[in-house]
Chains A and B, each alone.
Chain A
Amino acid sequence: MRQALTIALWTAIALMGAGALASIAFTRGEPVSAIWFVLAAACTYLVAYRFYSAFLAARVLGLDDTRATPAERLDDGRDFCPTSKWVVIGHHFAAIAGPGPLVGPTLAAQFGYLPGTLWLILGAVLGGCVQDFVILFCSLRRNGKSLGQMAREEVSRRGGMIAIVSVLAIMIILLAVVALVVVNALKESPWAASTLFMTIPIAMLMGVYMRFWRPGRVLEASVLGFALVLLAVVAGQWVADAPRWAAVFTLTGPALAIAVIIYGFAASALPVWLLLAPRDYLSAFIKVGAILALAGGILIVRPAILMPPLTRFVDGTGPVFAGKIFPFCFITIACGAVSGFHALIASGTTPKLLMREGHARLVGYGAMLMESFVGVMAMVAACALHPGVYFAINSPAGIVGATVEKAAATISMWGYPVDAATLEALAARVGERTLLNRTGGAPSLAVGMAQIFSGTIGGDRLLGIWYHFAIMFEALFILTVLDAGTRVGRFMVQELLGHVYAPLGRTSWYPSVLVTSGLIVGGWGYFLYQGVRDPLGGINSLWPLFGISNQLLSAVALVVATTILLKMGRGRWAWVTLAPMAWLVTVTMTASYQKIFHPDPRIGFLAQARVLGDQIAGGLLPPDKVAQAERLIFNNRLDAAVTALFVVLIVILIAEALYEWYRIISGRTVAALQETPHVPTQWAEAGR
């Protein structure tokens, strides 16, 4: 009887999910309620977790709860620390959920809501969750080794080197692109800029509190910091309303870029307790709180989705970024569907905390489902905007024009009617001078979130406060990624340079700290500045680069996972990692080829360099624009070279892996698995 009820329950959930998916896929000509998105995602996640992750755990990986985990065997109370699975999933989710699942879906909404939503849901359950879960398991069986170490030991030495180079490359590009998102969100906005500026002394005050006054009292300091940040959001409006102060905080893109570069250098070089750690605590709390509030808001407000399922821009002519739905939708949304960067977290702190192998299923697969849901909510927030408003905010001036009249006319001509008065009124309601050409995804997401929040609390009266709260929330945790990424990048460069000159490898030697911080900040700072000066908005070139590098890292992780499955004698189940890997390689290679060689100058880096070169040679540019064009030519060639580097890396890695797989399958080599030996757990009896 009980079994029959269980079957009936899961059949009902599956049917409800299928119905919701069909509703969002096949409705035409009328707005769809956001509730269908929530239902489609939640039911798919439930079914995938209950059945597919159980299959992965039992049949593919053979999780063994009688085996002692590294946290049990190597428990030192610091790095290796047995922790409840509900606490580990909290840590893991806070670590993997960054700005990517918010910004990527917002940008991909230019294709319409359907492609991005389907990719977020299906990509996660069949790709991203599998990657995170399998890599977590592999690291768990290897004393918490990193992805690079596993690639070196299980695939080849070159595989390990490729993983390390990929991590550094992705980090530089990632930091540049997230910094660009912040700059575009804050430029010409005294309210937003002053609010974010005030978070720096707030974080430092928290740092002093936790360092000297109440050491390690994270919750007390976070509550204090949160209250002050809310005050800063309100005070930002006073700044914007005071002409003298508003002038101080009304900053151009290049000025903000320089400020962010200086900030990144300081955060990397200053003691970690002073700025980085307190900001991280603060942003983690606000991040989780804002995401929960957004989920609650969507359920209460149930906004109508005004964006059509597919827009005319599936043909590759989109104003937000150029390129057809394949491969660019799948490059634009990385985090939220499949993100290679997660493999670094899954082979970092998390495996050192798990008390049982069985917990890897909840933490690895489950946390990624939660991130996918964050992506779906971002898609809902972006698509609840009127399409005309969405395109006005996210399109660069070079495409829609720099005045509201021109932009409204251009966007209306595309079939998404909007008028100048609507755009001006919306900007005034959120307390901004203009929302036009605010590329990068953050401002349009903030408008979408503010509409949902104000529909729950405060109504139109609080729209401005909610908008700036959302901007502050996005900018705060983007800056946290910037701080932490720059610092880790610094350590990686120090480790490399330490082989050349030993003192440079000492993380506490200040000259080395300054030099290596400068190198990392200089790397992402260059791409950031290039993006800010790019007439197409920068996101057009940088976000695809970021997506390609992130998916490359995912391909590395899935190659490692497949190799380990083959060595474990689970070749018949290798398709679970092989299929998403094949998809990602196809997407990455196609996108890379198009970004380098596509004849459309908005897509192909070399084509754009060629067009600019022809304009200079033909004397078509005024003398004051020639220097800018020459710089753009150099930048486009540099972007093409970086993309080509990614392609070379993935081709080498796949060739190495295919050779290794051939040797294993044909029996030419003994599959030497680098697992730690089985040690029985001492906790089984205690029921821990």
Chain B
Amino acid sequence: MNLRALAVLSARAWAWLRAVSGDDAYEAYVAGLAPPGAAPTRQEFYLDRLRRQYSRINRCC
């Protein structure tokens, strides 16, 4: 495996980790939001996300 392929693989793994953990949720939300400029702050978005996530069953036995 050459360095370029390794770099691509690492970037993909990092992107996957960010997506799975929710680390990139704000950027993804802002990028998909229309019209631009209507986005909440990062902190507001984070708190709203937590409120939604933990008001329903999200962990199993």
Binding site for B on A (CB under 8 A): 75, 77-79, 81, 83-84, 86-87, 90-91, 94-100, 167, 174, 178, 210-212, 215-219, 222, 272-273, 276-277, 280-281, 284-285, 334-335, 339, 341-342, 344-345, 348-349, 480-481, 484-485, 487-488, 491, 507, 546, 550
Contact = CB atoms under 8 A, between A and B. Distances in A.
Contact of A216 (B25, B51, B56, B59): B25
Contacts of A342: 60
B3 interface: no
B8 interface: no
Contacts of B51: 272
Nearest to A216: B46
A339 B61 contact: yes
Contacts of B59: 95, 98, 280, 480-481, 484-485
Interface centre among B22, B50, B51, B61 (most CB of A within 10 A): B61
B25 to A, nearest CB: 7
B33 A77 contact: yes
Contacts of A339: 60-61
Nearest to B25: A216
A85 B33 CA distance: 21
A341 B58 contact: no
Contacts of B17: 219
Contact of A87 (B20, B43, B45): B20
A344 B16 contact: no
A487 B32 contact: no
Nearest to A334: B61
Interface in B18-46: 18-23, 25-26, 28-29, 32-33, 41-43, 45-46
A496 to B, nearest CB: 15
A219 B18 CA distance: 7
B52 interface: yes
Nearest to A175: B61
A686 to B, nearest CB: 15
B interface, how many residues as a size bin?
20 to 34
Contacts of B56: 348-349, 488, 491
B55 interface: yes
B50 A273 contact: yes
Contacts of B16: 84, 86-87, 90
B60 A345 contact: yes
A216 B55 contact: no
B21 A219 contact: yes
12 contacts: A77-B29, A95-B58, A97-B60, A216-B22, A216-B23, A216-B43, A219-B17, A219-B23, A277-B53, A481-B61, A487-B54, A488-B56
A540 to B, nearest CB: 18
A488 B28 contact: no
B60 A344 contact: yes
Contact of B29 (A78, A272, A485): A78
B47 interface: yes
Given A77-B28, A77-B33, A345 B52 contact: no
Nearest to B39: A77
Contacts of B5: none
A97 B58 CA distance: 11
A77 B61 CA distance: 28
A470 B28 CA distance: 35
A4 to B, nearest CB: 30
B60 A96 contact: yes
Interface centre among A99, A210, A216, A276 (most CB of B within 10 A): A216
Contacts of B60: 95-98, 100, 335, 339, 341-342, 344-345, 481
Contacts of A349: 53, 56, 58
The 7 closest A-B pairs by CB, nearest first: A216-B46, A90-B20, A215-B43, A100-B61, A87-B19, A484-B59, A218-B23
A348 B57 contact: yes
A484 B58 CA distance: 8
A481 B58 CA distance: 9
Interface of B: 16-23, 25-26, 28-29, 32-33, 41-43, 45-61
Nearest to A284: B21
Given A77-B28, A215-B42, A507-B55, 17 more contacts: A81-B28, A84-B16, A90-B20, A94-B20, A95-B59, A97-B60, A99-B61, A100-B60, A167-B57, A178-B61, A211-B46, A216-B22, A219-B21, A272-B54, A276-B54, A484-B54, A550-B61
Nearest to A99: B61
A485 to B, nearest CB: 7
A86 to B, nearest CB: 6
A211 B51 CA distance: 13
B21 A273 contact: no
Contact of A281 (B21, B58, B61): B21
Nearest to A273: B50
Contacts of B22: 216, 218
A643 B18 CA distance: 44
A72 to B, nearest CB: 12
Contacts of B25: 216
A471 to B, nearest CB: 19
B9 to A, nearest CB: 13
Given A272-B51, A339-B60, A91 B20 contact: yes
A277 B28 contact: no
A78 B48 CA distance: 9
A98 B57 contact: no
Contacts of B50: 272-273, 277
A552 B43 CA distance: 41
Contact of A341 (B32, B42, B61): B61
A557 to B, nearest CB: 13
Contacts of B43: 211-212, 215-216
Given A218-B22, A219-B18, A222-B21, A345 B46 contact: no
Contacts of A84: 16, 19
A416 B51 CA distance: 52
A78 B22 CA distance: 11
Interface centre among A77, A100, A212, A339 (most CB of B within 10 A): A77
B44 to A, nearest CB: 9
Contacts of A277: 50, 53-54
Interface centre among B19, B50, B59 (most CB of A within 10 A): B59
B61 A174 contact: yes
A592 B51 CA distance: 38
A280 B29 CA distance: 22
Nearest to B56: A348
A345 B46 CA distance: 22
A527 to B, nearest CB: 15
